[in-house]
C-alpha cells in the first residue's frame, strides 16, 4: 500500500520518494519537506516492494529510505533500485549506526547515510546535494566510512573530472585532494606543499565546490568512491 502526493511538482524541484514503514515518520517527513523550497515528495511507500514498483514508473531523483523494512530489507531493495532506475540517488535514513550497515550501504550504492536524529535543515541540504551527485556521511559514522579505505600502504593515483571543464581539478588541487583523503588538516597540507594555511584552505574550499559537497569527509568519500583517488 502506498500513497502519492497531489501537490503539483515544481520543474526545478528535487523529486523525492520516501520508503518508510512507520506511517508517523512518513507523515512527519512529508509535512516537514512541504516547508522546504526545492524539494517535492513525489511519492511514498511503506515497504520496499511497493516502493520499487513506484520507482519504475516515476524514476525519482532521490529515494529516502530506511534499512529495516518489512519483507524485503533495504539492502535488497537498493540492489534492485540501482538496476531499475540507475540515475536515482539513494539516501539511507536509519536509526542504525553499525559499521556493517554503513559499509554495506555504500558498497551497494547509497549516496548518503543519515541517522534519524538528523534535523530537517541538514537533511534537506543532503537531498539537494546528493541530487547533484554529492556524497554525504553522518558524522556519527564517518570514521567507519574511512576504515573502508584504510590500508597499510597506499600508492595514490588520481585523475580529474573529464565530463565538465568547469569541474576539473587543477594540478595543485589534485595534490591537495590526495592529502585530504589521507586525513591531513589544512595546516598539515600547507606544511607538506610549502604554502600558507590560507592557501591550503582556499584549495580545499575549491575542491568542495567542484565536488558539490559541504565537508571534507564527503569530498574524501567521493574522491575514493568515484576513482578520483584510487588505490
* Tens of pLDDT, residue by residue, the chain (231 residues): 444 443 444 558 999 999 999 999 999 999 999 989 999 999 999 999 999 999 999 999 999 999 999 999 999 999 999 999 999 999 999 988 888 888 888 888 899 999 998 889 989 999 998 998 888 888 777 776 666 655 443 344 433 344 454 467 888 888 899 888 887 888 888 899 988 888 888 888 888 878 877 778 888 888 887 878 754
The count of structural domains within the chain is 2
Q: In the structure grid, which three cell numbers stand for residue 171, read together?
A: 594540478
In this structure, are residues 42 and 30 in contact, taking their beta carbons and an 8 Å threshold? no
Indicate if 157 and 140 belong to the same structural domain: no
Torsion of CA 228, 225, 86, 53, to 10 degrees: -160
Beta strands in the chain (DSSP E): 2-4, 14-19, 39-45, 62-65, 89-94, 112-115, 136-137, 157-158, 229-230
Half-sphere exposure of 189 (CA within 13 A, CB side): 24
Torsion of CA 83, 86, 88, 90, to 10 degrees: 60
Indicate if 112 and 207 belong to the same structural domain: no
User: Which residues are CB-contacts of 16 (< 8 A; sequence separation ≥ 6)?
Assistant: 33, 39, 40, 41, 42, 60, 61, 62, 63, 64, 127
Indicate if 159 and 218 belong to the same structural domain: yes
pTM: 0.63
Q: How far is it between the farthest Cα atoms of the chain?
A: 60
Provide the 8-state DSSP code for 2: E
CA 86 to chain centroid, in Å, comes to 15
Cα-flanking dihedrals φ and ψ of residue 79, to 5°? -60, -40
Last residue of a domain, one of 111, 146, 181: 146
Last residue of a domain, one of 146, 180, 210: 146
Indicate if 96 and 195 belong to the same structural domain: no
CA nearest to 78, candidates 33, 110, 42, 118: 110
> What's the domain range around 70?
2-146
Query: What CATH number is given to the structural domain containing 188?
Result: 1.10.10.10
Indicate if 69 and 9 belong to the same structural domain: yes
Last residue of a domain, one of 86, 114, 146: 146
Indicate if 49 and 121 belong to the same structural domain: yes
pLDDT digits (tens, 9 = 90+) for 38-84: 999 999 999 999 999 999 999 999 999 999 999 999 999 999 999 99
Amino acid at each position: 500500500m502506498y500513497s502519492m502526493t497531489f501537490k503539483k511538482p515544481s520543474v526545478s524541484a528535487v523529486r523525492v520518494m520516501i520508503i518508510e514503514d512507520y506511517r508517523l515518520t512518513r507523515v512527519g517527513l512529508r509535512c516537514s519537506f512541504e516547508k522546504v523550497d526545492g524539494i517535492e515528495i513525489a511519492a511514498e511507500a511503506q515497504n520496499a516492494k511497493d516502493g520499487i514498483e513506484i520507482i519504475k514508473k516515476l524514476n525519482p531523483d532521490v529515494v529516502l529510505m530506511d534499512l529495516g523494512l518489512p519483507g524485503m530489507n533495504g539492502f535488497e531493495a537498493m540492489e534492485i533500485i540501482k538496476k531499475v532506475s540507475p540515475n536515482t540517488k539513494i539516501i539511507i535514513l536509519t536509526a542504525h549506526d553499525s559499521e556493517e550497515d554503513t559499509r554495506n550501504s555504500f558498497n551497494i550504492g547509497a549516496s548518503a547515510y543519515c541517522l534519524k536524529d538528523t534535523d530537517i535543515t541538514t537533511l534537506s541540504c543532503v537531498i539537494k546535494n546528493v541530487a547533484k551527485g554529492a556524497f554525504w556521511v553522518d558524522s556519527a559514522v564517518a570514521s567507519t566510512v574511512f576504515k573502508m579505505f584504510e590500508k597499510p600502504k597506499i600508492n595514490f593515483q588520481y585523475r580529474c573530472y573529464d565530463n565538465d571543464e568547469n569541474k576539473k581539478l587543477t594540478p595543485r588541487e589534485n595534490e591537495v585532494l590526495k592529502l585530504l583523503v589521507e586525513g591531513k588538516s589544512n595546516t598539515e597540507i600547507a606544511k607538506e606543499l610549502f604554502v600558507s594555511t590560507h592557501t591550503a584552505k582556499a584549495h580545499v574550499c575549491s575542491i568542495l565546490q567542484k565536488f558539490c559537497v559541504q565537508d571534507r569527509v564527503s569530498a574524501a568519500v567521493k574522491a575514493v568512491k568515484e576513482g578520483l583517488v584510487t588505490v
